[in-house]
């Protein structure tokens, strides 16, 4: 399709409607160090764009020219900004603009300028496009489940335009498809903590702790549910330490004697909040220790020493972590 468009393109200087415009060449100074070898089409389009931009011409032909410039370089923020001014001035059909944007977003899904323009459009069009925007971001996630721009846009739409219904279920669907999808875990936390329909973090904590623990037991090496579990007790470390399920899942993972790095890290968090570990938990830590000489040291020091051995890439971090744990009674 692109090839056909290029073959059919009529140079701007040959179009009658542009006969009155004098193009403005790019000024790279007298001695450009590394001049860019632009295509003839790009050079001509931008020369004419500079002319209408400097003249502040907000006309239908200028709007079409910005489209041509965007198709050649969708990251040019000046072209996008000028296009918005023209759309406003012409009172243009923004639904039509959104259709154009759908096409170009699919081809450039990680382009910040496109997503900024999309937010501007959605804000102008209002709540009735919320469902369309959610559906479009779902389409993008089918190709790239961790597209930061699409997730940021989806969160903005939820907060500004609504559509919270079913969002938690959507997160569950994504996590079921890929339990390692950290973007879906982040979105789940966003929904649990921000949705006006769910009652807030404290209301959702009990059921979400159960959800996180189930995920941990499925793949204990997956860091996302461990972090999610911490997030559910944000600014309330005492509730983390007092929830018996947290220590219990650490014990279960340690008993398996594989993929227990995150479990040991969680134990350090519990100790930081004055959790009194059970004998079973202490014995489980002893059982995974690769160094018999650690049997006589305190639990926090023992956990950090084990982590330094089994996770040497972060050895300095685990040494520092040891200093953050208060002395045990």
Report the C-alpha gap between 248 and 252 in whole angstroms: 6
Report the C-alpha gap between 123 and 138 in whole angstroms: 19
pLDDT for res 291: 77
Are the beta carbons of 234 and 204 closer than 8 angstroms?
A: no
Beta strands in 213-298 (DSSP E): none
Task: Give yes or no: 110 in active site.
Answer: yes
Residues ≥6 apart with Cβ < 8 Å to 179: 215, 218, 219, 222, 224, 225
Report the C-alpha gap between 183 and 326 in whole angstroms: 33
pLDDT for res 285: 94
Helix (H, G, I), strand (E, B) or coil at 145: coil
Cα pseudo-dihedral 249, 252, 256, 257, rounded to 10:
70
pLDDT for res 38: 87
Report the C-alpha gap between 306 and 286 in whole angstroms: 10
pLDDT for res 4: 39
CA distances in angstroms from 39 to 6, 75, 117, 175, 200, listed in the order given: 12, 17, 26, 45, 55
Verdict on whether the full-model pTM lies above 0.95: no
Report the C-alpha gap between 241 and 166 in whole angstroms: 32
First to last CA, the chain: 73
Residue 60: exposed, middle, or buried by beta-carbon count in 10 A (0-12, 13-18, 19+)? exposed
Helix (H, G, I), strand (E, B) or coil at 205: helix
Report the C-alpha gap between 60 and 183 in whole angstroms: 41
pLDDT for res 329: 57
**Given the residues 13, 110, 146, 219, the one annotated as active site:** 110
Report the C-alpha gap between 279 and 298 in whole angstroms: 13
Helix (H, G, I), strand (E, B) or coil at 208: helix
Per-domain residue ranges for the chain? Answer: 164-235, 246-329
Residue 17 is classified by DSSP as G
Q: What is the mean pLDDT of each run of 10 residues along the chain (329 residues)?
A: 59 96 89 83 97 98 97 96 98 96 95 97 97 97 96 98 97 97 98 96 96 98 97 91 96 95 97 93 92 80 94 96 83
pLDDT for res 123: 97
Query: The tokens 């623990």 sit on which residue?
Result: 213
pLDDT for res 40: 92
pLDDT for res 1: 39
pLDDT for res 56: 98
Residue 180: exposed, middle, or buried by beta-carbon count in 10 A (0-12, 13-18, 19+)? middle
């Amino acid at each position: 399709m692109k090839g056909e468009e290029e073959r059919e393109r009529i140079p701007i200087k040959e179009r009658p409607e542009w006969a009155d415009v004098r193009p403005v060449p790019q000024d790279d100074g007298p001695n450009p160090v590394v001049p860019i070898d632009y295509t003839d089409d790009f050079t001509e389009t931008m020369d004419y764009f500079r002319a209408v931009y400097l003249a502040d011409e907000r006309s239908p032909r200028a709007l079409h020219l910005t489209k041509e410039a965007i198709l050649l370089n969708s990251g040019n923020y000046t072209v996008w900004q000028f296009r918005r001014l023209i759309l406003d001035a012409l009172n243009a059909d923004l639904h039509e603009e959104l259709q154009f944007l759908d096409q170009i977003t699919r081809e450039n899904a990680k382009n910040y300028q496109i997503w900024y323009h999309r937010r501007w459009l959605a804000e102008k069009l209002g709540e009735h496009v919320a469902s369309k925007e959610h559906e479009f971001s779902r389409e993008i996630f089918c190709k790239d489940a961790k597209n930061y721009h699409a997730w940021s846009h989806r969160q903005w739409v939820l907060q500004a335009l609504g559509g919270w219904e079913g969002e938690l279920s959507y997160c569950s669907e994504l996590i079921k498809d890929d339990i390692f999808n950290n973007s879906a875990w982040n979105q789940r936390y966003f929904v649990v903590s921000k949705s006006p329909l769910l009652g807030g973090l404290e209301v959702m904590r009990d059921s979400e702790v159960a959800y996180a623990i189930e995920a941990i037991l499925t793949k204990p090496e997956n860091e996302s549910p461990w972090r999610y579990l911490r997030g559910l007790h944000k600014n309330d470390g005492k509730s983390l330490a007092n929830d018996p399920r947290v220590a219990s899942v650490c014990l279960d993972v340690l008993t398996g004697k594989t993929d227990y790095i995150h479990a040991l890290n969680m134990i350090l968090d519990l100790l930081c909040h004055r959790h009194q570990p059970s004998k079973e938990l202490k014995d489980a830590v002893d059982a995974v220790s690769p160094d018999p000489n650690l049997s006589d040291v305190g639990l926090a020091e023992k956990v950090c020493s084990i982590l330094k051995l089994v996770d040497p890439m972060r050895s300095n971090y685990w040494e520092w972590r040891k200093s953050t744990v208060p002395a045990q009674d």
